[in-house]
Amino acid sequence: MPADLVEKTDRYGEMLTDALAEAEAAVPPGTPLGNAAAECRKMAESYLDDGRHFREEGDPVNALASFSYGYGWLDAGVRMGLFEVPEDSRLFTM
């Protein structure tokens, strides 16, 4: 059975919120990599805000897309070594 759109949207919003709380910069701020980490985090936070806005407006399709894009930015940063996450994290691919 396909996932319910509203349930999936809410789940992805929670997942992005949890991922932002877990990810810590792994590179010094003010350096080129530190700036890249800050930009990835800013993009993820912006997509989280956008997703919440769309969700409040009753637009779960665009909310889900926003949450997914935000999560993608953060996950890419983890894979590139810009962020550290707990070893037992189930939120990221490593």
Report the CATH number that the domain containing residue 70 is assigned in CATH: 1.20.1270.90
pLDDT value of residue 88 = 79
pLDDT value of residue 91 = 84
- Dihedral of alpha carbons 66, 22, 85, 12, sign: negative
Render each residue's pLDDT in the chain as its tens digit; 94 residues: 467 999 999 999 999 999 999 999 999 999 999 999 999 999 999 999 999 999 999 999 999 999 999 999 999 999 999 999 988 788 877 6
pTM of the model: 0.90
**Encoded tokens for 86:** 């707990």
Inside any domain, residue 92 = no
Q: In total, how many domains does the chain have?
A: 1
Inside any domain, residue 36 = yes
Selection from 20, 27, 10 nearest residue 43 by Cα: 20
- Expressed as residue numbers, the domain containing 25 is 5-84
Selection from 17, 14, 11, 5 nearest residue 62 by Cα: 5
Selection from 64, 15, 21 nearest residue 41 by Cα: 21
Inside any domain, residue 53 = yes
